[in-house]
Chain A
Amino acid sequence: MKFASSAKLAAVVVSAALALTACGGSGNSGSSSGAVDGKGKKLSVLTGVNAQYSAQQKQWFTDIAAKFKAQTGADIEFETFASANDELTRIQTSVVSGQGPDVYSLGTTFTPTAYATKAFVTLSDDDWNKVGGKSRFNQAALGISGPDAQHQAGIPFVSRPFVMAYNKDLLAAAGIDKPATTWDELEAQAKKMTNPATGTYGLATGYKDNYDPWKFIWAMSVQAGNPLVDGKTLKLDDPAVKKAYETYFGWLTKDKVVDPASVGWSNSNAVAAFASGKAGYLMMTTSSSLPTLEKSAVAGKYAYATMPTAAPGDSSPKGDAANAASILSGDNVVVADYSKQKDLAFAYINLITSKDEQLNFQKIFGDLPANADALKSLANPQLQPVADTAAKSKATPFTGAWGDIQLALMNVTVQSIPDLAKGSVDDSALESRLKDAQSKGQASLDRASK
């Protein structure tokens, strides 16, 4: 009896709660209908937080919002994410719930994964015209916007090609007149500059970095003619990949041209070593290292250069190798498919990819323009090699499996670090790690091509 009465009450409470949640749900859905005029509307933009220039970024948000308001009458709400994981979580919840930001900023290597969710607008010719036309962009930067030229979702926003920096004094002291253009030459030059007694090493690079290692392997393999992904086949068990790992590990174990402590370094440790004048080359860096280096001991004594493009063992770039100086790196913007104000979103992208805004952005943050005119008109001679590299960048394979493949490539390095620290990587161990990477990556690729 007692139970029955409380059960009745429970039923009442439950149904009341259900009614309440239902109200909450329906209250949200009544959002705007799409008109080109943005008066009274609010565009929501999700972009990465810039920890290095946070005050400038806030200022940039305010400036762009004011300009956008003048153009369309609409407001912008900027949201930032602190890390790639943050971003991913936002994308996942938005994809599942069908609501969230209208415009997202995505790293280039993440674009294929985002494309695979089909949650973002694949641009029609008409859409491209709304953002200023496809020809407005640096054509190389479009290489990772979609699986092919007809299906592109990512609109290039900035380029951040990977280059190396070299210490002019150390090179000159070792009698080297120009930076290396092949990996073999780089190794030879690095040997000349290395002097463990003074703590000076030819190369600075971080083996414990979360991203750098796979980029070396990718570059050397692609330059040797192995694009890693060939249609539905993954080719990590190819000799070129093994050779790439051997070269990369060899700097530490055989050539001894990097600081032994670099088994625990991330990229920022390598930048610090180079900035203190203890390294001839800083590998795998971007123009965003410029502000740090300008304030360091090597200010005025360093320059950027394109990384070698001839695969290990080659004396000159083979085939298309010269155009694989860096992964195609930077940021794309995408428009959410669920957005009810796509035209407004395109208007925003049109604004931020215009020549003036792109040059302005470069001046504040250091990232290179994706706008072709803006890229051409860059005045800073120091950035010239970086701008050249932007045109010689090659897209990583456009597949939803790329995240897994990247992880598999990274895992080979991570599991090899104990061997690296001991001074030699066992050949059979490397082979078995590569085999493992191949099978995991291939499984993921199979899922992608299903």
Chain B
Amino acid sequence: MSTDSLTAGKPTRRKSTHAATPEPQVPDTPPRRKGLSERNRPLWMLIPGGLLMVIIIVLPMLLGIYMSSLDLDQYSLRQWVSAPFIGVQNFVEALTGSPLLHAIWLSVSYSLIAMVVTIPLGIAAAVATQNAFKGRALVRSIFLVPYVLPSFVVATVWRTMFQPGSVIDSALHSVGINAGLWLNGPQSYWTLILVQIWASWPFVYLLALSGLQSVDHEVHEASALDGALWWNKLRYVVFPYLKGPLSLAFLIGMLHHINNFTLPFVLFGVPAPSDVELLPTLTYVTSFQSFRFGLSAAMAFISLILIAIPLFIYLRAVKLDDAETPGGKK
């Protein structure tokens, strides 16, 4: 979902700005290559898609923002349009009277830790299966198993294994470790990270693999002729190709982790232990257990902004759609 909008939405916008302001400083370079294809582009054909985007994304979002200014709860739900307007009170309550900031901190930190661990894992797996060997197809398929399993199944199985006195406890016990509670208390935070890593590293692996595929054969040959050993080859020849796909993986992974509801919900249930009271769980409980729809809309909006700011800066910084970056070619 977010992939589509990121990759599909951006380039068109960028091109159109180029079209509006041609760069006069570089007169000796030939006129822009895509000039012909940009002329008479049937932009109106975007209308059906654009209309759908407005109906499915923009309108509900505006509605959500409007809701966040209403005192909307179970008592006013039925006539929700006439629910009392209370301005920014919901935002004030979300920031000062609810565990929202704590939840944001937990969500962001857990996502970051999980991403930082999964990236090397994914690269290692991709590099390991890059050269052909017997049974490579099988290994590659097995690597994808965690990724294709539904989140609900992953969480249910892990929850069963993490039960007190269940397999993990008895396995650790047999080597003399008494690990304590996994699904409650401070350790639950690390349980969540562990399961998230398990479930999401194949995604990084997939994107790293796609990056490796784009390394031209000549480059390998050239570096071999220059006498580069494997580490130098990896570091100076292969990794630059991975920068684009991995940045994308990092971005999408972070967004996915921060928005992941199924995993913590199934693993820990509600009310969640305070160590894993994440952003989606908190918004869910506020909305569907406490019926504070206005307050939860405010929470969702605050978190949207908080995520959007670094996202925006990041997008500008990495320029995912930049055709000059090696990894982003084609």
User: Interface residues, chain A, CB within 8 Å of chain B?
Assistant: 2, 5-6, 9-10, 13-14, 17, 85, 88-89, 92, 95-96, 113, 116-119, 208, 210, 260-261, 263-264, 400, 403-404, 407, 410-411, 414-415, 417-418, 421, 444, 447-448, 450
Q: Complex formed: what's the CA distance from A85 to B291 in Å?
A: 12
Contacts A/B (CB < 8 Å), 22 sampled: A2-B40, A6-B43, A6-B44, A10-B47, A13-B47, A85-B288, A95-B78, A96-B78, A113-B74, A117-B74, A118-B78, A261-B163, A263-B164, A264-B163, A264-B165, A264-B183, A403-B291, A404-B289, A404-B290, A407-B285, A421-B184, A448-B75
On whether the beta carbons of B73 and A447 are closer than 8 Å, the reply is: yes
On whether the beta carbons of A411 and B271 are closer than 8 Å, the reply is: yes
On whether the beta carbons of B290 and A403 are closer than 8 Å, the reply is: yes
Taking the complex as formed, is B105 at the interface, i.e. its CB lies under 8 A from any CB of chain A?
no
On whether the beta carbons of A9 and B47 are closer than 8 Å, the reply is: yes
Chain B contact residues (Cβ within 8 angstroms of A): what range? 20 to 34
On whether the beta carbons of A260 and B80 are closer than 8 Å, the reply is: no
- For A444, the closest partner residue in chain B by CB is B290
Q: Complex formed: what's the CA distance from A277 to B148 in Å?
A: 40
Instruction: List residues 166-185 of chain B with CB under 8 A from any CB of chain A.
Output: 166, 180-181, 183-185
Q: Complex formed: what's the CA distance from A261 to B163 in Å?
A: 8
**Interchain nearest-CB distance for A69 vs B (Å):** 32
**Interchain nearest-CB distance for B303 vs A (Å):** 21
Taking the complex as formed, is B274 at the interface, i.e. its CB lies under 8 A from any CB of chain A?
yes
Q: Complex formed: what's the CA distance from A51 to B175 in Å?
A: 40
Q: Complex formed: what's the CA distance from A85 to B287 in Å?
A: 11
On whether the beta carbons of B273 and A261 are closer than 8 Å, the reply is: no
When distances are taken between beta carbons in the complex, the residues of chain B under 8 Å from A448 are 75
On whether the beta carbons of A95 and B77 are closer than 8 Å, the reply is: yes
Q: Which of B44, B166, B271, B273 makes the CB contact (< 8 A) with A407?
A: B271
Question: 5 closest Cβ contacts across the A-B interface?
Answer: A418-B185, A264-B164, A261-B165, A6-B44, A417-B184
When distances are taken between beta carbons in the complex, the residues of chain B under 8 Å from A260 are 164-165
Q: Which of A89, A208, A415, A447 makes the CB contact (< 8 A) with B75?
A: A447
When distances are taken between beta carbons in the complex, the residues of chain A under 8 Å from B44 are 5-6, 9-10
Taking the complex as formed, is B240 at the interface, i.e. its CB lies under 8 A from any CB of chain A?
no
Q: Complex formed: what's the CA distance from A448 to B73 in Å?
A: 10
Taking the complex as formed, is B120 at the interface, i.e. its CB lies under 8 A from any CB of chain A?
no
Q: A10-B44, A407-B289 are in contact. Are A92 and B184 (CB under 8 A)?
A: no
- For A403, the closest partner residue in chain B by CB is B289
Max chain A Cβ within 10 angstroms of own Cβ: one of B47, B164, B180, B272: B164
